[in-house]
Amino acid sequence: MAFFILGAYTTPMIPASTITVSADALTHNAVTIKSRLPAKTKLCAVVKANAYGHGVKFAVTTLEPYADFFAAATNHEALEVRKLTQRPTLVMDSLKTSALAKCLKQNIHISVCSLNELKILLSAAKKAGTTAQVHIKLNTGMNRFGISGTDEFSCCIKLIKNQPTLTLAGVYTHFGAGDNPSHPRTHGQAKRFKQFLAILPPELKPIIHAANTDTALNFPQYAFDMVRVGIGLYGYGSSTNQNSPPWRGGAERRGGFTPVLTLTSYIAAIQTVAKGQYIGYGTGTRAKRNMTVGIIPLGYADGISRSLSNKGKVIISGLPAPIIGNICMDSFTVDLTENSPTPAGWMSSVAQTDGVAAAEGGVKTLAVGTPVTIIGPDQTAADIAETQGTIAYEVLTGINHCRINYQTKNPNKKSPLS
């Protein structure tokens, strides 16, 4: 199959580049995750970074029937979540004083990573005239944030017990290799975590939580009272297993999870480029033959990484079209040349016919306005991440919602699995 190129609009309206998020897919993923947790384990839905690029309002309103808790990275993010739900909400970042008083007055749970941070929180709670819901973060081997020593942890517990304006709402850690079931690192972190927990006096009953998406699925014995699930809700796995089962391919191969977001655009212009002419910025890309190229109106300002220059692709009419030249701020170029040898699935010959007959002859008719898929069933964010040499998190959170149309599919419609 090949493309038959037309150079005119096929529709009276110019389409828009669009982010589409599926409420059905998000609900399905939440239900699937909950079905694999121990019966009494709570689900904390992580909606930081604009719900991993999916839209925080969409995520919170869709997940509220299924989530026991929500988690954000910053105070300001948590306040946005509070506008949407009264479910308990946790700030996971190390303590920040900006907007802290507002969070305390909204009963948002606050993380502390040291005794000094706890003292600062105590002062802020007294000043705000409210009780702080404290989650102590412990460093058990991630070596990022958190208390590393049991003595400091004991001092925090003592201070909380002696201060009526502090309530120990949670104690938690973060696993660094939950995606690798065969590696001992997770077991080592869990052992260290339990050494901390043994210090807790029996009268204190904080929520104990440690597992992220992959840890919750691969190490159910470490689910504790609550799991914090982020990327899995949106249909992906973590950094090292995103491109291998169960996270690659159809939903049945991704352990039943479905990507929630699609990103589409359209061909905004079609150009004929003679052999030897340059394409785009710089002098590094020249046409090796007479070519037909399409201009897609998205660029690195929209989240299309410049690292995809000359090596990424898009999907047009079910077929891959390679990116050629450098990604620009507002656009990029794809090769629409008939007989292109680069992407698999393109035929080596094209029927010379009009658009109607072309459809019968197996030729895809292209024109300005033809839809283009950047992220979708045939190319997921994980596929793009593999090409870029990064992770799906970066691809998804890098999408700039300010410049792209946004729509929700099946809003407020319950999944048939729920």
Distance CA 352, CA 321 (A): 20
Distance CA 80, CA 78 (A): 5
Q: How would you label 46-76 residue by residue, b for 16+ Cβ within 10 Å and e otherwise?
A: bbbbbbbbbbbbbbbbbbeebbebbbbebbe
The two beta strands, 371-375 and 261-266, are antiparallel
Asked if residues 24 and 342 have their Cβ atoms less than 8 Å apart, the reply is no
Helix (H) or strand (E) holding 147: none
Distance CA 51, CA 396 (A): 9
Distance CA 304, CA 404 (A): 12
- CA-based end-to-end distance of the chain: 41
Asked if residues 130 and 163 have their Cβ atoms less than 8 Å apart, the reply is no
| SS3 at position 85 | coil
CB-count burial class (<10 Å; 0-12, 13-18, 19+) for 45: buried
| SS3 at position 145 | coil
For residue 418, give Cα distances in angstroms to 33, 134, 216, 352, 405: 12, 32, 20, 51, 29
Residue 210 backbone phi and psi in degrees, to 5: -150, -35
Q: How many CB atoms lie within 10 A of CB 162?
A: 8
| SS3 at position 269 | strand
Tokens of 417: 């699995």
| SS3 at position 83 | coil
Only one residue has tokens 């988690």, namely 71
Tell me the β-bridge partners of 167.
Answer: 133
The two beta strands, 109-112 and 332-335, are unpaired
Please state whether the peptide bond connecting residue 246 to the residue before it is cis, i.e. omega within 30 degrees of 0.
yes
83 classed as catalytic? no
| Catalytic pick among 48, 137, 313, 364 | 48
| Catalytic pick among 127, 205, 275, 281 | 281
161 classed as catalytic? no
Which residues are the active-site residues? Answer: 48, 281
